[in-house]
Amino acid sequence: MPKVLITGGGTGGHLYPMLAIADALVEAGVASGDIRLVGSSRGEDRRIFAGTPYRVSLWPGRGIRRAFSLRATLANLRALSGIAVSLVYGIMTALIWKPSVVVSVGGYASLPMSLGAVVARRKLVLVELDAATGLAQRLVLRFCTARCTAFANTDPRAIFTGAPIRSTLARTTEPARSAAKRSETPPIDVSKKVVLVMTGSLGAKRVNDAVLELAALWHDRTDVVLIHITGRRDFERVKELTPKGTLDYRVVEFADMSRMWPVADIAICRAGATTVAELAVVGVPAILVPLPHSPSDHQGQNARLLADSGAAIVIGDDHVSGETLRSALEPLFENSLRDTMSRAMGEMGKPNATRDIAGVLMKVSAS
């Protein structure tokens, strides 16, 4: 059986796809001891990878800051020194561990191991999560054996698989959504519309502030449940600022989204690749607030593709507020419009993406 090394990380948006691919490889017959995950010692990697059955290596490095200032320059010099150390680790790992295939899901943490694979002449497969190819992937693009892409691509090496997601996610039917609402603590009345906010494990202050404003505007509503997953940075602050009223407003620090997506009638999110892929598979219409200045504007491109298909509404980060959210949300309480957007979102979904990516890796490793 092949030995597979999966590299990426720094954010949950890379780490959960890495785990999903690893789990799919095990289902395809690869021993868990023959799978290695290489990520960052700085990000969420240690917490998210804790308890996995796979070998885990966490190396130094950080992302490059796209700014012109003395502080940014010094930070970038430190980042480059960390990447240089990790590159040595990557070359040595490729030469000593001898993986059959190295899989990169992108992000700054993937670059040293991807370059190590190139230097050691190991097969390299890129799993591209976003509509725009990130810098780390672009640097090794010419050397890859295959590309598994989240969106259609004209490159002959590209295989349109969709983005890898957790196997527990599936299209949410109305009966399943009602059952999920009843299973919450406390249970949610199935007649109420649930608006679910999620902007990542750390959260997004600007969006969190806008949702607090929305909760104040809706303070006397009884037909809506607002579930606000704040992320760790803002949880205590948002709890302290929670407005009083009859609105069922639930503030949560972090949650298992495979359990939470089925509860939602409408979502408010950033537009990272994993979030977009999960929304599409579950079929939840969304208001997307792309992260501004994201590398290659990948979140903006992801969001525009969903908006162009009729599956989402896009609000710019500099325009998001309680009022703009209310104006965008309230028309979606009409079942016909929400159902139309839900169908459009579902048509974007690739529920078998992770299995298909594992199949590509098995073929590449055997060739």
156 plus 185 within the same structural domain: no
Q: Give residue-wise pLDDT tens across range 71-86.
A: 655 554 566 566 778 8
DSSP SS3 for 111: helix
25 plus 102 within the same structural domain: yes
Element at 58 (helix H, strand E): strand 55-59
CA 239 to each of CA 216, 224, 236, 271, 289: distance values in angstroms, whole numbers, following the listed order: 13, 19, 5, 25, 22
265 plus 334 within the same structural domain: yes
When pLDDT is cut at 50, 70 and 90, the band that residue 38 belongs to is: very high
Q: Give residue-wise pLDDT tens across range 206-247.
A: 999 999 999 999 999 999 999 999 998 899 999 999 999 999
Average of pLDDT values for 11-19?
A: 84
Instruction: Indicate whether 190 pLDDT > 80.
Output: yes
199 plus 286 within the same structural domain: yes
Average of pLDDT values for 110-137?
A: 93
d(CA 285, CA 308): 13
232 plus 270 within the same structural domain: yes
268 plus 150 within the same structural domain: no
210 plus 104 within the same structural domain: no
Answer whether 350's CB lies under 8 Å from 163's CB: yes
How many other C-beta atoms are found inside a 10 Å radius of the C-beta of residue 115? 22
Q: How many structural domains is the chain composed of?
A: 2
228 plus 270 within the same structural domain: yes
68 plus 156 within the same structural domain: yes
CA 47 to each of CA 50, 169, 260: distance values in angstroms, whole numbers, following the listed order: 5, 22, 20
Instruction: Indicate whether 161 pLDDT > 90.
Output: yes
pLDDT score of 5? 98
340 plus 263 within the same structural domain: yes
Biggest distance spanned by C-alpha atoms of the chain: 64
pLDDT score of 211? 98
12 plus 153 within the same structural domain: yes
Q: What is the CATH number of the domain that holds 256?
A: 3.40.50.2000
Instruction: Indicate whether 14 pLDDT > 60.
Output: yes
CA 299 to each of CA 119, 257, 295: distance values in angstroms, whole numbers, following the listed order: 31, 19, 8
| Average pLDDT score over the chain | 90
152 plus 188 within the same structural domain: no
Answer whether 87's CB lies under 8 Å from 64's CB: no
pLDDT score of 44? 79
Token pair belonging to 80: 């480059």
Could you tell me the residue range of the domain that residue 44 belongs to? 4-165+351-366
